[in-house]
């Protein structure tokens, strides 16, 4: 393999074929960078940035949303919804949440404001919902659900459960749970395969899927599998493992998603309606006992990732940068790593990732990455119970 001689400061050399390395860490791209792309390298370095603690004292924080008045809404996976006011954690919890299963990887998950929140006040929350009477699946099981509600003082009001994935499963892994809104009034929810990998390919179950709903939870009549016999009509894409990052491209409106692989094979994907993303029929990873899950990394009719990570970084949280405070990064992705406790900056050109760099090694187990209304980057750190702000020093 011939090495591409173009590289850039504080980043990584790019090899033809798209292999990007730092030490033993690798991110594999299915696109090949061109000299023009590598010359347009981003000039911001970690030394130009500062990290400040916004709030601490949280218990397993998972996600945050910025309210118009400057307060932060924060979910704690233990099942608590909290407010941060003027940099201080409000000791009074927000009431009105439904029953939540806090076990394993389950609990209170994502929080997102409706795009027209200032006018309608709707807050959307995903969570692990225990099996209720009459629901399909295992007794004692659970699955990912989506609600919307309004906030009055310290209470949720007008609580509406919009959707719950079926069936309920006893395993306490792979809930997914990310929420995004597109520019057309639809809401998308990512769903893990709940440790039952074969069901990612089963259109009759919600496991390992991304679903699309109207903002009131109704199923759009033009979803790709509405007329497919035996298929769940809410399904938008399938063949996912545990998608814990979703975000909308700021100009194209395209959904980008990342998901955990097993040992190796974490993926970054562009989400397109009706597409099959392959898990577990194709994968770049192996199982935790080192056994082979599939000998194939590609099959006809199955999508290839934009990039994949090997070894796994356990990606969680992701945002496109659009801020004037980070002009050189505009249009690029920031991705969190649970396993290695850093941020990755992925340089994006069109639908390709042309290079990447590690930022703030050992920052903490990153659960969420958001760009705030002030243009700074906010990072939710699970292990330390903090939210930190990244901003330019000057």
Positions marked active-site = 174
Separation between Cα atoms, residue 377 and residue 332, nearest integer Å: 13
What gap in Å lies between CA 88 and CA 72, rounded to an integer?
10
Cα separation, 194 vs 265, in Å, equals: 17
**What does the block give as tokens for 188?**
């998308």
Could you tell me if 147 and 173 are in contact, meaning their C-beta atoms sit under 8 angstroms apart? Answer: no
Residues with Cβ within 8 Å of 219's Cβ and at least 6 positions away in sequence, in order, are 213, 226, 233, 234
Residue that the structure tokens 């603690």 belong to: 53
Residue holding tokens 């998603």? 257
Q: How big is the CA angle at 167 (ends 161 and 173), to the nearest 5 degrees?
A: 90
- Helical ranges in 68-195 per DSSP H: 117-120
């Amino acid at each position: 393999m011939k090495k591409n001689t173009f590289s850039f400061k504080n980043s990584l050399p790019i090899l033809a074929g798209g292999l990007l390395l730092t030490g033993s860490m690798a991110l594999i791209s299915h696109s090949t960078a061109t000299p023009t792309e590598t010359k347009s390298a981003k000039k911001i370095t970690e030394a130009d940035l500062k990290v400040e603690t916004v709030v601490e004292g949280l218990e397993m924080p998972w996600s945050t949303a910025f309210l118009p008045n400057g307060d932060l809404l924060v979910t704690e996976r233990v099942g608590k919804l909290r407010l941060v006011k003027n940099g201080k954690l409000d000791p009074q919890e927000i009431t009105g949440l439904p029953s939540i299963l806090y076990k394993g990887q389950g609990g209170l998950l994502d929080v997102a404001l409706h795009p027209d929140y200032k006018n309608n006040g709707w807050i959307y929350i995903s969570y692990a919902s225990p099996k209720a009477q009459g629901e399909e699946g295992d007794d004692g099981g659970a699955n990912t659900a989506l609600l919307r509600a309004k906030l009055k003082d310290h209470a949720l009001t007008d609580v509406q459960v919009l959707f719950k994935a079926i069936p309920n499963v006893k395993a306490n892994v792979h809930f997914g749970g990310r929420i995004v809104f597109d520019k057309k009034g639809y809401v998308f929810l990512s769903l893990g395969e709940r440790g039952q990998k074969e069901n990612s390919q089963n259109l009759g179950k919600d496991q390992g899927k991304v679903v699309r709903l109207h903002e009131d939870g109704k199923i759009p009549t033009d979803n790709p599998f509405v007329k497919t016999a035996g298929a769940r009509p809410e399904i938008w894409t399938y063949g996912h493992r545990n998608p814990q990052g979703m975000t909308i491209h700021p100009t194209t409106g395209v959904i980008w998603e990342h998901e955990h692989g097993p040992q190796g094979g974490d993926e970054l994907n562009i989400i397109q309606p009706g597409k099959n993303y392959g898990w577990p029929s194709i994968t770049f990873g192996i199982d935790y006992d080192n056994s082979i899950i599939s000998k194939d990394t590609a099959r006809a009719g199955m999508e290839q990732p934009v990039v994949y990570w090997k070894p796994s970084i356990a990606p969680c949280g992701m945002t496109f940068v659009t801020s004037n405070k980070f002009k050189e990064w505009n249009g690029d992705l920031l991705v969190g790593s649970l396993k290695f406790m850093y941020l990755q900056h992925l340089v994006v050109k069109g639908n390709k990732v042309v290079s990447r760099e590690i930022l703030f090694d050992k920052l903490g187990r990153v659960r969420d990455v958001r760009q705030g209304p002030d243009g700074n980057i906010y990072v939710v750190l699970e292990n330390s119970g903090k939210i930190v702000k990244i901003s330019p020093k000057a």
